Amino acid sequence: MLGFFVRLHAKILILGMSTIIDVYNAWQTVDLRSEAVSIIQDQGEIIADLNASQLAQGIKADGTEITPQYAESTIEYKQGKTGLSGITDRVTLFDSGDFYRGIAVTKVDAEKFTITSIDDKTPKLEAKYGNKIFGLTSENSWTYAVQHFMPRLASYIYQKTGLTLK
């Protein structure tokens, strides 16, 4: 994952460094793996919100529709509800909101992270709808990388080295 984010902005401008040796020495203090883990841990709520927004649209991490559709009894039950709880034209996995509130990023390392929900219904929902209910679509991965991860990583690199990512 880290390689993907770093390749997004390959052009580096050197600012404030007097020699290549200074740049090299400053770069030796950079720990991209550790910083990537730290960023993802700090931004776990953003990632969880992106995952929840996909679910609200009825979309799994692989970009496909959440299936199977609701049973007739579920549709009848949800028709008396308002907001996201009352939506029946797509599967949102939303009823009381506990499942969505439980969505969190876990098991973070520099290569990947895992998204799950601490809600008690999670195993049942995964069994019925698959584990692809957790994770970001390609579009949301890109959104996260460009709008959240890369700016924070660029700031870290600048603080350590004076290099600016463009």
Cβ-contact 135, 25 below 8 angstroms: no
DSSP state of 133: G
Q: Which pLDDT score, from 0 to 100, does residue 21 have?
A: 86
> pLDDT, tens digit, for every residue of 26-61?
889 999 999 999 999 999 999 999 999 999 999 999
> pTM of this prediction?
0.85
In angstroms, the CA 25 to CA 47 distance is: 34
In angstroms, the CA 26 to CA 9 distance is: 19
Q: pLDDT band for position 15 (50/70/90)?
A: very low
**Does 151 have pLDDT greater than 80?**
yes
